[in-house]
Amino acid sequence: MTEQHPFKWRHFQADMILLRMMWYLRYSLSYRDLEEIMVERGLSVDHTTIDRWVQQYAPELEKRCHPHLKATTDSWRVDETYVKVKKEWMYLYRAIDSEGKMLDFWLSPTRDAEAAKGFFLNALAASQTSSPRVINVDKHAAYPKAFKELNAAGCISESCKLRQVKYLNNLVEQDHRFIKWRTQPGMGFFSFETAWRTVQGFEIMNIIRKGQLQGVDKRDVRGQVALVAKLFGVAV
């Protein structure tokens, strides 16, 4: 995919591709549901084609949205939920700030200190703040170990505190519901790469839905659609 012509050689119009991709990522619809909806509107598009659109453009959507994210607070809530890949559970690490804004996410086949450390590093690199003041986690033993190693390596500020207080993480546990709700219609993924690309789309659509992008509000659905089209250089 090139920056100048992301929809070059596509049979369908760019605005239609973007809108159908956004429907899939935002609402509890399967690919076959979208295929039927399009047939109702006189368009014949196989569900596998819609799948290819999501696989190609969802990661690109996340990349293009990232520079436009609003600032977040320095108080993090970190937790993990589960995504089924090839009938096996994978671990989706997620972090939000004290106001419920999404900070970062990370899909891992393991739930251990190395996975937690990888997630922390990725979240620190993606953070809209210079450094977290406090990181709230649950009682899982991997978090203190990962935090200690990163603190010793200078990756996390010495002033940053790790707190293992379960009730403080209610906010992020509730935020998992959007991801669980969206992964349910698909009944799991067939590969790690497919899962990761789709999850990127789910998460960035959740970020857009929350109104975390500059210039668009939480309930301004039409504005959100227009902003995504603008990011891809598409007229709507």
Chain-wide mean pLDDT for the chain?
Answer: 91
Q: What is the mean pLDDT of residues 181-197?
A: 87
**DSSP β-ladder status, 134-137 and 75-85:** parallel
Residue 115 confidence class, pLDDT cut points 50, 70, 90: very high
Is the model's pLDDT at 186 over the cut of 80?
no
pLDDT at res. 216: 92
For residue 188, pLDDT over 80 is answered with no
SS3 string of 177-215? HHHHHHHCCCCCECCHHHHHHHHHHHHHHHHHHCCCECC
Going by pLDDT thresholds of 50, 70 and 90, the confidence category of residue 1 is very low
Report the pLDDT value the prediction gives residue 156, as an integer from 0 to 100: 93
Domain ranges for the chain, please list them. Answer: 14-69+191-231, 75-178
pLDDT at 2: 42
To 10 degrees, the CA torsion angle through 160, 63, 87, 33?
Answer: 130
Long-range CB pairs of 193-198, under 8 A, 24+ apart, other chains included: 194/55, 195/83, 195/85, 195/90, 195/107, 196/107, 197/54, 197/55, 197/58, 197/59, 198/54, 198/55, 198/58
CATH number of 75-178: 3.30.420.10
pLDDT at position 219 is: 87
Model pTM?
0.91
Q: What tens digit of pLDDT does each residue of 29-53 get?
A: 999 999 999 999 888 899 999 999 9
At 130, is the pLDDT very low, low, confident or very high (cuts 50, 70, 90)? low
By percentage, how much of the chain surpasses pLDDT 90?
A: 77
